[in-house]
Amino acid sequence: MFRALFSRSEVRLFFTISVLFFICIHSIDAFLAPMLISEGMQPEVVGMIMGASGLATLFIRFPIGILSDVVKSRKIFIQFSLLLPMVTWPIAYLEPTAMTLYLAKAADGFTAATWVLYNILFIRYFDKKDAPAAVALLALAGPLGVFLGNCIGGALIHFFDKNIGYFVSSVSALLALILTFRIKEFHDAARAPTLKACINSAKRQLADSSVWFIGLLATIVILVPFATRDTLTPIYAQQLGAKAGILTLLSNIHLIFYALAIAMCSSVFYKRLGLVKTAVIGIILQVISSIGIPFTSNMYLIYFLQAMAGFSFGMAFAVFMSLSVVNTVEDEQSTRMGLFQTIYSVGMFVGPVAMGLMLQHINLSSGYLMIGALCVIAAFLTPMAARSVEQRQIKAAQKSLPKVSSAQEYANKTSQ
């Protein structure tokens, strides 16, 4: 599969666009909160700005998946979403107010909501049997894009004006938009669902309590990095004297160990521990990494805890992503995944907002402790959530839809 990146120009093109996509939506995240705090902006306002992307994603992700299926074109949604950060971040640079920054982060969230469309387009370049490997290959664009975005943004902020980092998002969006015109989109009109079919599928997913249960726990798990890595930890590090280079390093440490955990889940953790134990151990490590940071001023220990935070997030979140489509017929996987992603987007919004409020009205340590408490609750509820997934009733759907995929059968076995 890796050979396709070097031997097939269309695969290489799409992977490049995906890397630019992640640079666009994440290049400023590691620096924005401490920058705004240092400029005198109220912590609760900073929290609202940092959470704007999650709020936009919350409202956009589920309906955009349905609309793209009906319109039969996903590329046009991707292109429109890339236009937004191209416009909003230069406005924020010229007029850096709370409102313009909020709109810029909301634009990032709208763009981020289209990621599921990238996956659907990319797997069309491969045979059906290679689809799981294709998704795994495209997933590498995430860590690579965020890493490059952090490095480019950190260098610009360190050597030039701190607000110049806003243009990283705009430039990467422009480059990605230009390249999208070379994408060849494959249409299968015979299998295109009608609006009525999409709505009926959405209703079935909304009525399934198990996807809400899994989504709630994923909300807590994803709340942790958005509240700590993107909000509290860079603010705390700046209070300890950290500059842009250190903030870049902190974010990239989290990213590298997150990617490592993701890679080890299917090959090591799932086989040896199963899904449930993998998630519980990951959440417990999230507790340790969260409550440990505010009680030390040693940057080397903070680096270690940040690495643990990234690794634990990868362990836990990968499990909930897997559980979200277990015992789901193939034709409803994308709808269920869209609903699941919509639910956990709440954590992307609530995390920064709650931390901003606690930072302003209580103190920094209280935010970390609250996150630790939520993770303890999630650890206890995870086995119950896994059992609810195993009990999903899909017999009625199987009468008219294809059988559950082999990938899901594997996930069922490993969850036991």
For residue 200, CA distances in Å to 20, 137, 197, 310 come to 35, 32, 5, 38
Separation between Cα atoms, residue 375 and residue 180, nearest integer Å: 40
Q: Enter the DSSP assignment of 124.
A: T
For residue 173, CA distances in Å to 60, 120, 145, 246 come to 19, 20, 12, 26
Question: Same topology for domains 1-192 and 194-416, yes or no?
Answer: yes
Q: Is 2.60.40.680 the CATH classification of the domain at 194-416? A: no
* Identity of the amino acid at 332: E
Question: What per-residue confidence (pLDDT) applies to 401?
Answer: 45
Separation between Cα atoms, residue 259 and residue 225, nearest integer Å: 14
Q: Enter the DSSP assignment of 404.
A: B
Please, what CATH class does the domain formed by 1-192 belong to? mainly alpha
Question: What per-residue confidence (pLDDT) applies to 95?
Answer: 87
Question: What per-residue confidence (pLDDT) applies to 415?
Answer: 43
Q: Enter the DSSP assignment of 241.
A: T
Question: What per-residue confidence (pLDDT) applies to 307?
Answer: 92
Separation between Cα atoms, residue 310 and residue 392, nearest integer Å: 31
Query: In the structure encoding, which two tokens stand for residue 394, read together?
Result: 């899909």
Residues 215, 392, 269, 384: is their CA dihedral positive or negative?
positive
pTM: 0.72
Question: What per-residue confidence (pLDDT) applies to 23?
Answer: 92
**By three-state DSSP, how is residue 329 classified?**
strand
Along the chain (416 residues), what's the average pLDDT of each consecutive run of 10 residues? 63 88 85 81 83 81 71 80 91 89 90 82 72 65 83 82 84 93 69 64 68 84 81 82 80 85 76 85 91 86 91 85 65 65 76 74 81 89 81 50 45 43
**By three-state DSSP, how is residue 401 classified?**
coil
Q: Enter the DSSP assignment of 362.
A: S
For residue 280, CA distances in Å to 154, 267, 292, 320 come to 34, 18, 18, 11
Domain boundaries, the chain: 1-192, 194-416
Asked if 14 and 68 count as a contact pair (C-beta separation under 8 A), the reply is: no
If phi over 0 gives left and psi between -120 and 50 gives alpha, with beta otherwise, what is residue 184? beta
Separation between Cα atoms, residue 164 and residue 150, nearest integer Å: 13
Asked if 82 and 176 count as a contact pair (C-beta separation under 8 A), the reply is: yes
